[in-house]
A = this chain, B = another copy of it.
Amino acid sequence: MNYPNGIQKKTISHNTSYGNRGMNLENDLNITNEFYRNTDKAYIYKKPTPIKIVHVNYESRNLAEIDKAFFTEPSTTDYNGIYKGKYIDFEAKETRSKTSFHLDNIHKHQIKHLNNIVNHGGIAFLIVRFVNLDQTYLLKAIDLFKFIDTYKRKSIPLTYFQENGYIIKTKINPRVDYLEIVDKVYGGIL
């Protein structure tokens, strides 16, 4: 779709102004997934932001314009796709904390969704970036569940990621090579 540059810029400024909702990690993952697609390694996409459209203006000179809509809660995770014939599904979040990842960052139904994926033989995990430590971890969904079931705490301490998660090194290309970790961690079923 072609928009005037002004609009493009606005969109970007929207994205950045739209709180620190994991935009940097999101951009890194978008670039990484594009690399995986371009190299025919995997087909993993970020789902569009779920919104509830309230009104659309069809009189707009160009194309139909949505002039009233709201963000809605996602019912699933942000990313899914196929890798080596397997269904892969994950949620990615950033935290500014240097010591822990608050579970409020993940909706209950997203955790339930990850659980369903694991139960049905899919590959499911979290990618959590500690922005101020410049560390990005992959945590298997089963280790997320284990934490929730074992400790009745509202946040996962960094040490839990260090002991049960896997560091994803940031590279030039692919930026966040999480499939390298997936190969290592899930190699048995791939």
Query: CA of A43 to CA of B71 in the docked complex: distance in angstroms?
Result: 23
A40 to chain B, nearest CB (A): 8
- Kindly list chain B residues whose C-beta atoms are within 8 Å of the C-beta of A10: 54-55
Contact A84 B54 (CB under 8 A): no
Q: Is the CB of A52 within 8 A of B122?
A: no
Q: Say yes or no: is A102 at the interface (Cβ < 8 Å to chain B).
A: no
The CA of A50 and the CA of B7, in the complex, are separated in Å by 17
Verify if A106 is at the interface (C-beta below 8 Å from B).
no
Q: How far is the CB of A146 from chain B (nearest CB, A)?
A: 21
In angstroms, Cα B37 to Cα A120, docked, is 11
Q: Is the CB of A51 within 8 A of B51?
A: yes
A119 to B10, CA, bound (A): 38
- In A45-92, which residues have CB < 8 Å from any B CB? 45, 47-56, 62-73, 75-76, 80-89
Instruction: Report A75 CB to chain B, min CB distance, Å.
Output: 7
Residue pair A56, B120 in contact (C-beta under 8 Å):
no
In the complex the two chains form, is A63's CB within 8 Å of B54's CB?
Answer: no
Q: How many copies does the complex hold?
A: 2
Number of A interface residues in the complex (CB < 8 A): 53
Tell whether A69 pairs with B69 under 8 Å between CB atoms, given A85-B122, A113-B43.
yes
Question: Of A45, A66, A83, A85, which is in contact with the most chain B CB atoms at under 10 Å from its CB?
Answer: A66
Determine if A1 is an interface residue (Cβ-Cβ < 8 Å). Answer: yes
A122-136 interface (Cβ within 8 A of B): 122
Residues of B within 8 A of A113 (CB): 43
Contacts of A151 in B (CB 8 A): none
CB nearest neighbor in B for A86: B87
Residues of B within 8 A of A48 (CB): 47-51
CA A61 – CA B80 in complex, angstroms?
Answer: 34
Cβ of B56 and Cβ of A11 under 8 Å apart?
no
How many angstroms between the C-alpha atoms of A69 and B45 in the bound complex? 21
